[in-house]
Amino acid sequence: MASITLKGNPIHTNGELPKVGQKPPDFLLAANDLSEVSLGAYKGKKKILSVFPSLDTPVCALSVRRFNQEAAKLDGVVVLNISADLPFAQKRFCAAEGIENAPALSCFRASFAKDYGLQIVDGPLRGLCSRAVLVLDRDNTVVYVEQVPEIAQEPDYAKALAAAKK
């Protein structure tokens, strides 16, 4: 169980993130057209999993925009923005913001948050994902992990991008 904060108030997740060197669980997440997407859909690519509570919060929206800009500069790397937002809301957000380089995927009907140890178990965001970034190599081995300690804080983009470039 990770201890994190939301605006300074302690909250917890249901477990721990996969560790560097491990293969994380596969997933089935909903794309904007409601199709199901797994890790296998991105076979042969490095993956940045940017996980957050909701696009309807300023920091989450900012991180999606930032990773979208950065993803355009990376060959062979895909950024996956993962939250419990409904695919319809993700689609509207991405269209309004011009998000084209970093697909949004919804875990609203999946066990992703629990499987990855990211489900918030207490506080006002209970049931949503905590803010975290995982970088997977082409073989889906974890090469970088960041559990952002304060939900209202942005992730360390430079470290995640550097890990994806290796």
CA distances from 111 to 118, 119, 165 (A): 10, 9, 29
Look up 129 and say whether it is catalytic. no
Instruction: Name the residue type at position 94.
Output: C
What are 128's two structure tokens?
């949503």
- Extended strands (E) in the chain: 3-6, 9-12, 29-30, 36-37, 46-51, 77-83, 104-106, 132-136, 142-147
81 close to 105: Cβ distance less than 8 angstroms: yes
60, 94, 107, 129: the catalytic one is 60
Report the C-alpha gap between 17 and 73 in whole angstroms.
27
Phi-psi region at 98: left, alpha or beta (left = phi > 0; alpha = psi -120 to 50): left
Active site residues: 60
